[in-house]
Amino acid sequence: MSNPGFPLLERLLVRLVQNMNLLLTELTFLKAILLLLLFFPLGGLLYGYDIGSTSCATISIESATLSGISWYDLSSVAIGLITSGSLYGALIGSVLAFNIADFLGRRRELITSAIMYLVGALVTAFSPNFAVMVIGRFAYGIGIGLAMHSAPMYIAETAPSQIRGLLISLKEFFIVLGMVAGYGIGSLLVETVAGWRYMYGASTPLAVIMGIGMWWLPASPRWLLLRAIQGKGNMQELKETAIRCLCRLRGQSIGESASEQVDEILTELSYVGEEKEVTLGEMFRGKCLKAMIIGVGLVLFQQITGQPSVLYYAASIFQSAGFSAASDATRVSILLGLLKLIMTGVAVVVVDRLGRRPLLLGGVSGMVISLFLLGSYYLFLDDVPAIAVVALLLYVGCYQLSFGPIGWLMISEVFPLRLRGRGLSIAVLVNFGANALVTFAFSPLKAWLGAGIVFYVFGVIAVLSLLFIFFVVPETKGLTLEEIEAKCL
C-alpha cells in the first residue's frame, strides 16, 4: 500500500524546482540589468563630474601660488573658454553624431565617447599651456556630446519596457552624482599646488572603465535588425547576431523566446515602415515631424525655463538669508547638488509607476511657482530672503523631478528607430545650444531688465512649456518602442 504522503511530497518537490527555476531566471535577468547599470551611466557621471570639478579648477588655475604654472594670469575670456570649452565640444560631438551615429551603432559610439573622455582628460591635465588646455576641454566635450546622444538610445533599445524609464532616468541621476563628486573632489584639491591637474586627471580611470565595459557589452539588437531590414548586411547573419546579443542582455534564461522576440521586433519594424533610411525631407513630415516637435520641444524648454541661470544666483540667495555656507560657494554647490541627487532619485524610482506626463506636469508647475516667487523677491520682497531660499530649493527639486530626467528619457523613446540616431543628435544639439545661449544671454538681460523681470520671463516660458506638455507630449509608460511609434506618433 502506497504512502499517501508521497504524492504530496512529489508536488512540493515539483513546486520547489519550479520556484528555483523562476528564481534563477530572475537572477540571470537582474545580472544582465546590473551589467548595463555598471557601465552605461558612466558617460553621464563623467559629464556631471566635469561641471562640478571645473567650478573648482578655475579657482585653482587663477591662483598665483596654487596654480603651479606661469600662465595663470588669464583674462575673463580665457577663463570663459576653459569653463565652457567642454560645452562647445559637446556641440561638435552632437553634430558629428548626426552623421556617424547610425553607421557606428550605439555601442561603438559609446566606446568612441569613452576614448574622447580619456584623451580630453589627459590632454587637459598635462597641458603645458593655455592653447593645449582648450584643445583638451574641446576633446572632452566631444565625448560628452557623443555619450549624451548614444547612452539613452542604447538603453532605450535594449532595456525591458517595464523598467526603461528607470534605467534611462538613471543617466540624469549619475550626472548629478558626478556634479556632487566633482564639487567634493574639487574642494579637497583646491588648495593643492596644481590641484586643477589632479581634478581633471581624476576622471581618467572612469573613462577607461567605461570604454572596457562598452567593448564587452553587445550591440543593440534593434540597431542590428534595422540594418537588416534596410539591406545593410546579410539578413540571416544579422538576425542571428541580434539573437545572441539579446541573450547576453537579458540572460541565457531567455532561451528559445529570444528568437521569437527578434521575429516580433522585425515584424513591428516592417509594420511601422522602417525599411527605408530616413531622408532629410522625411525628418520634417508626418510622424517624424511629430517626434521632432516632441523631442526638440522638451529639451528646448528644459533649458530656456532658466535652469542654467537660476543656480547662478544660488550663492547670493543663501548669503542674503544668513546661511554660514553662503560664504563658501563650493559648499553651497554641494548642498544644492545633494538636493538635486535626492529629487532625481525620487523621479527614477517612480517614473515607471506614475508615468512621464504626471511628473512633467507636476514638476513644471512647481517651477512656475518658484520662478514667479524669485522674480517677486528681486522686485518687491528683497527684505524677506527666506522666500528666495524656498523658491530656489523648490525650483531645483521640481526641475529634477521633471525636465531633468524626463526630458532625456522622452527623446530616447519618441523618435522612430530609423530616425533615432539623427533625431537624437538634433535634440542633443538643441539642448547644448540652448544651454550655451541662456548662459551667455543671462548677464546682459539682467543688466538690461533686472533680475526680477528676467525670472518673470522664465516663469512665462515655463507656463508655455506646461501647455506644450499638456497638449503635445504623449504618455509612453509601459509601451515598447515600436508601440510608441505606432500609437503615439
pLDDT for position 25: 47
For position 224, what pLDDT does the model report?
86
Residue 36: per-residue pLDDT: 59
Give me the pLDDT at residue 5, please: 47
CB neighbour list of residue 417: distance below 8 Å, 6 or more residues apart: 157, 222, 226, 269, 274, 481, 482, 485
CB-based burial label for 68 (10 Å; 0-12, 13-18, 19+):
middle
Nearest to 367, CA basis, from 333, 412, 402, 398: 398
- Provide the 10 A C-beta neighbour count for residue 465: 24
Helix H or strand E encompassing 252: none
Domain assignments of the chain as residue spans, ordered by start: 39-220+278-488, 221-271
Nearest alpha-carbon partner for 149 in 189, 99, 186, 216:
99
C-alpha 166/C-alpha 388 separation (Å) is: 32
CATH number of 39-220+278-488: 1.20.1250.20
Calculate the alpha carbon distances from 291 to 99, 231, 287, 473 in Å: 19, 25, 6, 9
> pLDDT tens, position by position, for the chain (489 residues)?
445 544 555 554 455 444 444 444 444 455 555 555 666 778 889 998 998 888 788 888 888 888 888 888 888 778 878 888 888 898 898 888 877 777 788 888 999 999 999 999 999 999 999 999 999 999 999 999 999 888 888 887 877 777 777 778 888 888 888 988 888 888 888 888 999 999 999 999 999 999 988 888 888 888 888 888 777 777 888 888 888 888 777 665 566 677 878 887 777 766 655 555 666 667 777 778 888 999 999 999 999 998 877 766 666 666 666 655 434 555 666 777 788 889 988 998 888 889 999 999 999 999 999 999 999 998 988 777 888 888 988 999 999 999 988 988 898 888 887 777 788 888 888 988 888 788 777 778 888 888 899 999 999 999 999 999 999 999 988 887 778 877 776
Angle (CA) 399 402 408, round 5°: 105
CA dist., res. 367 & res. 384, Å (int): 20
Calpha distance 166→157 (Å, rounded): 14
The answer to whether residues 430 and 90 touch, using CB atoms and an 8 Å cutoff, is no
